[in-house]
């Protein structure tokens, strides 16, 4: 048997190095006799004592007399080496002015510190941010869905101030289309800040790639914002307190009944930048059979998009099976993959609001019956809400951080390529295009206005292509440079036109002169 003294007699850091087991056996080994009648703390005692009240000395209680003392821990540990040093003598009332409850808490913490488990650190409140983006065609019910996802009894969220989601507003101030809710996780001391970014539908816009470019640009711009915050000279010490603008996940809203090429293409492009969760809207317009068939059709097209220019399957966000199970989803294989089939509504069942506790129950009433948004037999909205706002929150956050790291590496590795592209553009605009213009002029006879128009047209098209690509990369600075390069090139092209004009004038004069010289010779019958 060994006494505790040789094992824990050092300063605190040496105490910390003692492994659980060593400390445990060392404490257990203290002979009762050597305790001199005082109750020294052993781990078995500590276990029994947890939660028990003992403010008197050891004689009145079997609870170990671990005293509340204002001595530092290492002094306390040293004092406990010899029974007579008085280190563990109860001195609660004499030494402290704490209330009974506070001193009890303090004492329990001390006991836990020496118990069989490692101590539980005190948690402090922190904020965690999640941003969901909702994308899809106009009129599908995106705004209604956001409200149904986030609202609670007595609080019908006004998603944003417009009845529609205008493109101009999104381009100018996307944050004005964000709906934000916060709530506290008391257990983990986390304040969740959950934001949903609404987006304008692509509506009648035939050029879907322009709409995709705009959304992708927005996603990348949020990443760039975060990168700028990370690398700012006077950044916050801890970025955990800063509102994170990055998009975590995207709900892609599909119309019921028919899967359009545009939607397949949109999902394929978008999924390269952010994980998507396909959601089939307005489930109440489909019969059970139609809904099943359409869900399967979407699953098949995600596996095999069968579209030109799109290789491989379309990646969607993969919830882990455990997460799906926690959210109450049936664990059948078909259900483990989105798409979710949902109903949303702004009409709330008033009777459910009077229930105890009040329940938020959006529904759609028809003459023949009622479709209920959160009824699992009617719609998957309850599962979606459970996943997005509870069970998969951490999973989604982790995924965002991994994806951002990959984006960051790519982004920081591209300046050379971006520079090369800029140089190529400048060369094309300043040299190749004017040269082509001169050749064109020489071949087709010179028409100044036509030339000017075709040079302008060519430059504009080239500029649009390059700037369009740039915009997708959210390089607004590069955009400005490309624009000024284009303007300079235009000026140079104009100068080249003038030069060509002068050259043509000179050539015409030469031709005229030659003709004049030929005429007398012909008269003389030389040819
Ligand atoms: P957004 O343009 O995609 O934001 O669509 P809105 O949220 O403005 O909704 C357009 C219309 O669809 C509104 O009249 C909604 O009431 C309706 N709507 C929304 N969700 C559903 C649904 O699940 N089923 C049906 N039948 N209509 C819906």
**Ligand 1 neighbourhood includes 379 CB (under 6 angstroms):** no
Rounded CA gap, 150 and 186, in Å?
19
C-alpha distance across the termini of the chain, in Å: 133
Q: What confidence tier does 323 reach under pLDDT thresholds 50, 70, 90?
A: confident
For the CA of 253, the closest atom of ligand 1 is 3
Closest ligand 1 atom number to CA of residue 344: 23
Mean per-residue pLDDT for 57-70? 41
Residue 112 has pLDDT above 50, yes or no: yes
Do residues 160 and 177 touch, judged by C-beta distance below 8 A?
Answer: yes
List the CATH number of the domain containing 247.
3.40.50.300
The pLDDT, as a whole number, for residue 319 is 86
pLDDT in tens, 164-194: 557 778 888 888 889 989 999 888 889 999 9
Q: Is 423 contained in some domain?
A: no
Question: Cα-atom radius of gyration of the chain, to the nearest Å?
Answer: 37
Look at the chain and report how many structural domains it folds into.
Answer: 1
Write the DSSP string, 430-459.
IIIHHHHHHHHHHHH---HHHHHHHHHHHH
Q: Cα separation of 423 and 420, whole Å?
A: 5
Mean pLDDT of all residues in 390-403: 86
194-198, 238-242, 480-484, range with the lowest pLDDT? 480-484
Predicted confidence (pLDDT) per residue in 256-285, tens digit: 999 998 899 999 999 999 999 999 999 999
Task: Output the pLDDT for position 168.
Answer: 78
DSSP 8-state secondary structure symbol assigned to residue 391: I
Query: Is 181 part of any domain?
Result: yes
Nearest ligand 1 atom to alpha carbon 140: 3
Phi-psi region of 257 (alpha: psi -120 to 50; beta: other; left: phi over 0): left
- 378 and 372 Cβ atoms separated by less than 8 Å: yes
The CA 141 to ligand 1 mean position distance, Å, reads 3
Per the CB < 8 A criterion, the answer to whether 300 and 255 are in contact is no
Confidence of residue 94 (pLDDT cuts 50, 70, 90): very low
Q: Is 380 in the pocket of ligand 1 (CB under 6 A)?
A: no
Residue 433 lies in a domain: no
Distance CA 159, CA 524 (A): 94
In this structure, is residue 357 part of a structural domain? Answer: yes
Residue 428 within any structural domain of the chain? no
Ligand 1 site-directed mutation target among 140, 144, 374, most atoms within 8 Å of CB:
144
Q: Which has more pLDDT, 454 or 405?
A: 405
Does residue 203 fall inside a structural domain? yes
Take residue 105 and report the two structure tokens written for it: 């808490």
| pLDDT on residue 419 | 65
Q: How many CA atoms lie within 13 A of 53 on its CB side?
A: 4
Sequential DSSP letters for 275-343: -EEEEE--GGGS-HHHHHHHHHHHHHHHH----TT--SPPPB----HHHHHHTT---SGGGGSPPEE--
- Separation of 43 CA from ligand 1 center, angstroms? 63
In angstroms, what is the span from residue 293 Cα to ligand 1's centroid? Answer: 22
Ligand 1: residue of 141, 251, 341 to mutate (most ligand atoms within 8 A of CB) is 141
In this predicted structure, what is the pLDDT of residue 332?
61
Q: Which domain holds residue 208?
A: 126-414
- Between the CA of 194 and the centroid of ligand 1 the distance, in Å, is 22
Lowest mean pLDDT among 161-165, 210-214, 249-253, 289-293: 161-165
Q: Is residue 482 part of a domain?
A: no
Whole-number pLDDT of residue 380: 92
pLDDT score at 492 = 73
**Residues 6+ positions from 93 with CB-CB distance below 8 Å:** 55
pLDDT band at 18; cut points 50, 70, 90: very low
Query: Which 8-state DSSP code applies to residue 60?
Result: G
Q: Is 309 left (phi over 0), alpha (psi -120 to 50) or beta?
A: left
Rounded Cα–Cα distance for residues 434 and 262 (Å): 38
pTM exceeding 0.75: no
Note whether residue 431 is domain-resident.
no
Give one word for 157, left, alpha or beta, with left for phi > 0 and alpha for psi -120 to 50: beta
State how far the Cα of 464 lies from the Cα of 237, in Å rounded to an integer: 41
């Amino acid at each position: 048997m060994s006494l505790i003294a040789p094992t824990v007699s050092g300063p605190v850091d040496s105490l910390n190095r003692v492994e659980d087991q060593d400390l445990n056996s060392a404490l257990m080994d203290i002979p009762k006799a050597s305790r001199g009648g005082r109750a020294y703390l052993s781990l078995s005692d500590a276990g029994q004592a947890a939660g028990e009240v003992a403010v008197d000395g050891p004689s009145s209680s079997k609870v170990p007399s671990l005293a509340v003392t204002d001595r530092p821990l290492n002094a306390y540990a040293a004092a406990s080496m010899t029974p007579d040093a008085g280190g563990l003598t109860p001195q609660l009332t004499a030494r402290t002015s704490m209330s009974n409850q506070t001193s009890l808490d303090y004492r329990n913490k001390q006991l836990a510190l020496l118990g069989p488990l490692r101590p539980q650190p005190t948690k402090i409140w922190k904020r965690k941010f999640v941003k969901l983006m909702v994308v899809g065609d106009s009129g599908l019910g995106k705004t209604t869905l956001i409200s149904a996802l986030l609202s609670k009894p007595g609080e019908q969220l006004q998603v944003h101030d417009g009845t529609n989601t205008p493109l101009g507003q999104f381009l100018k101030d996307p944050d004005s289309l964000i709906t934000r809710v916060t709530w506290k996780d008391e257990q983990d001391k986390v304040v969740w800040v959950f934001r949903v970014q609404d987006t304008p539908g692509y509506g009648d816009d035939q050029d879907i790639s322009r709409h995709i470019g705009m959304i992708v640009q927005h996603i990348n711009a949020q990443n760039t914002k975060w990168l700028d915050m990370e690398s700012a000279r006077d950044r916050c010490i801890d970025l955990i307190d800063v509102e994170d603008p990055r998009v975590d996940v995207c709900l892609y809203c599909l119309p019921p009944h028919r899967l359009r090429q545009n939607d397949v293409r949109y999902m394929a492009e978008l999924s390269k930048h952010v994980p998507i969760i396909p959601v089939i809207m307005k489930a109440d317009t489909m019969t059970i059979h139609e809904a099943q068939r359409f869900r399967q059709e979407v699953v098949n097209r995600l596996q095999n998009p069968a579209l030109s220019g799109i290789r491989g399957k379309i990646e969607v966000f993969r919830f882990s099976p455990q997460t799906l199970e926690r959210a109450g989803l049936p664990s059948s294989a078909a259900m483990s993959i989105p798409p979710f089939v949902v109903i949303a509504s702004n009409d709330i069942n008033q009777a459910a609001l009077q229930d105890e506790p009040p329940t938020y129950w959006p529904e759609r009433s028809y003459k023949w019956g009622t479709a209920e948004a959160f009824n699992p037999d009617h719609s998957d909205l309850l599962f979606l809400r459970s996943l997005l706002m509870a069970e998969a929150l951490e999973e989604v956050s982790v995924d965002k951080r991994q994806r951002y790291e990959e984006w960051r590496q790519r982004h920081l590795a591209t300046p050379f390529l971006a520079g090369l592209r800029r140089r190529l553009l400048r060369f094309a605009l300043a040299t190749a295009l004017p040269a082509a213009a001169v050749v064109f002029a020489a071949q087709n006879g010179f028409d100044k206005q036509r030339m000017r128009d075709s040079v302008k047209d060519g430059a504009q098209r080239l500029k649009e292509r390059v700037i369009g690509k740039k915009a997708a990369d959210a390089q607004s600075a590069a955009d400005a440079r490309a624009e000024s390069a284009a303007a300079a090139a235009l000026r140079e092209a104009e100068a080249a036109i003038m030069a060509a004009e002068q050259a043509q004038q000179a050539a015409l004069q030469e031709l005229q002169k030659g003709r004049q010289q030929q005429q007398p010779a012909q008269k003389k019958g030389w040819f």
